[in-house]
Amino acid sequence: MPLNPAALDAYWMPFTANRQFKKAPRLLTGADGMYFRDDRDRQVLDGIAGLWCVNAGHNRPHIVQAIQAQAAELDFAPPFQMAHPKAFELAEQLVQLTPAGLNKVFFTNSGSESVDTALKMAIAYHRVRGEGSRTRLIGRERGYHGVNFGGISVGGMVANRKMFGTMLGGVDHIRHTHDPARNAYSMGQPAHGAELADDLERLVALHDASTIAAVIVEPIAGSTGVLIPPQGYLQRLREICDKHGILLIFDEVITGFGRTGNPFGAQTFGVTPDLMTVAKGLTNGCVPMGAVFAQQKIYDTFMSGPEHLIEFFHGYTYSAHPLACAAALGTLKTYAEEGLLTRASAMQSQFAEALHSLKGEPHVIDIRNMGLVGGIELAPLPGEPAKRAFNVFLDCWEQGVLIRTTGDTIALSPPLIIESSQIDRLIDTIRTALRRVA
């Protein structure tokens, strides 16, 4: 049943053109497997796992049952100086999936909170170990690290930053890796650009390593248009961090939980960070939850003072919330039973082939892919950035397929349960839209 327009008034929607949306709302009322249902009772193919998060598809029984049972058993437990068993159980299971060494877990409620937690951990870590001068944080142009003040400070998307004052002090940015002149239409990791990591040396030369706490990057920049790291780039970044005693933080909010063909991007790219932030796929998007994984050495450093004192003055009311822990345990069970955390590696060649078949279609200027992530970059409409991609989005929506656009790039990240025929439908829908939009 379509809603009355007046009923849309009070809700101030996030990252949305509110007035335009309320004139022609797109409302989702149900979901199962690979499909949403909308208020016109249509089935809509989910090409973006909700918002890069519903990796196991919708309405999965283990997750639904875990949340229902948990709500009746223990609805809330205070997380400070108290705990409940599932928090420990979940942490133990998670560290079985992470790269060796990343074996401590701090729980949050979103990717943005995970990022701010990791940045605070990095600065405090150096201080506890006697290098209190290491306070600077380095992000990267075109990075997205959520919307809290720490995250937008190290982030590199101008629209997310320019309205919000001076943000954190002592932050700098290395340059982004997008280089269409050399790398357009690369399959998987582009060949050119490992040397862009050397930009970190420039900032070390400017600020001195003794002032730098950490560098944060997304292994694949997702929100800013699916930028795949050039071959050797992340390795080089790791080497430079090691050389200068700088912590390396991978923001795996999107790349975590199977998106690239392994549990984490760190494993796909063969580079282990010191801290790793996750959210989204941790609970299959069903209950808000995020986490920060830390190397043993970082945890141990904090555990150095008197035993009765709090070691890290940080945490959220809802850290390790029982419903979120239950949802995450149900999610991990689903991933394990169906082999979903490696399924993207089996599907990626078919996905890549379908995606790259859009080369030569109207407006397409680059295509990028890795695992089950795809980016299709379009030439913008003259003087109207982002509009052409949004027109494609609207056309696909009318055809019953949900995609996502960022600027003039279409970003695809289907649930990891996607089947071949659904990949074909997703790509053919976009092809049809490209051939008829302005």
Site residues, ligand PLP (CB under 6 A)? 316-318
64 binds, among ligand PLP, ligand PXG, none (CB under 5 to 8 A by kind): none
Segment 135 to 154, residues that bind ligand PXG, using CB under 6 A: 144-146
CB-side neighbour CA atoms (13 Å) of 113: 18
For the record, the structure tokens of 46 come out as 């989910």
Find all residues with CB under 8 Å of 208, minimum gap 6, and list them: none
Name which of 313 and 383 has its Cβ closer to ligand PLP.
313
316 binds, among ligand PLP, ligand PXG, none (CB under 5 to 8 A by kind): ligand PLP
> Which residues in 11-135 belong to E strands, given as ranges?
28-32, 35-38, 43-46, 102-108
**Least separation in angstroms between CB 79 and ligand PLP:** 9
**CA proximity to 386, closest of 333, 329, 437, 314:** 437
Among 70, 117, 223, 295, binds ligand PXG (CB under 6 A): 223
318 binds, among ligand PLP, ligand PXG, none (CB under 5 to 8 A by kind): ligand PLP
Piece in contact with ligand PXG (CB under 6 A), picked from 61-69, 111-119, 256-264, 343-351: 111-119
Q: How far is the CA of 7 from the CAs of 25, 41, 102, 296, in angstroms?
A: 11, 19, 47, 51
CA dist 262 and 344 (Å) reads 8
For the record, the structure tokens of 378 come out as 């379009």
271 binds, among ligand PXG, ligand PLP, none (CB under 5 to 8 A by kind): none
Q: Is 404 one of the binding residues for ligand PXG (CB under 6 A)?
A: yes
Q: Is 108 one of the binding residues for ligand PXG (CB under 6 A)?
A: no
Phi, psi of 81 (to 5 degrees): 60, 15
223 binds, among ligand PLP, ligand PXG, none (CB under 5 to 8 A by kind): ligand PXG
CA dist 327 and 382 (Å) reads 46
Tell me the DSSP string of 36-54: EEETT--EEEESSHHHHT-
Name which of 174 and 279 has its Cβ closer to ligand PXG.
279
Assess contact for 340 and 318: CB atoms under 8 A: no
Q: Is 254 one of the binding residues for ligand PXG (CB under 6 A)?
A: yes
317 binds, among ligand PLP, ligand PXG, none (CB under 5 to 8 A by kind): ligand PLP
For the record, the structure tokens of 252 come out as 């795996």
Angle at 24 between CA 23 and CA 28, to 5 degrees: 130
Helix axes 322-338, 340-356, angle to 10 degrees: 70
Q: Is 59 one of the binding residues for ligand PXG (CB under 6 A)?
A: no
**Least separation in angstroms between CB 35 and ligand PLP:** 33
For the record, the structure tokens of 214 come out as 């950490």
Among 102, 137, 204, 253, binds ligand PXG (CB under 6 A): 253
Segment 335 to 394, residues that bind ligand PXG, using CB under 6 A: none
**CA proximity to 355, closest of 329, 330, 373, 378:** 373
Residues near ligand PXG (CB under 6 A), total: 19
406 binds, among ligand PLP, ligand PXG, none (CB under 5 to 8 A by kind): ligand PXG
112 binds, among ligand PLP, ligand PXG, none (CB under 5 to 8 A by kind): ligand PXG
Segment 307 to 346, residues that bind ligand PXG, using CB under 6 A: none
Q: Is 116 one of the binding residues for ligand PXG (CB under 6 A)?
A: no
Q: How far is the CA of 214 from the CAs of 89, 126, 203, 248, 344, in angstroms?
A: 30, 10, 12, 6, 30
Among 38, 199, 251, 408, binds ligand PXG (CB under 6 A): 251
**Least separation in angstroms between CB 218 and ligand PXG:** 4
Binding site for ligand PXG (CB under 6 A): 51-52, 110-112, 115, 144-146, 218, 222-223, 251, 253-254, 279, 404, 406, 411
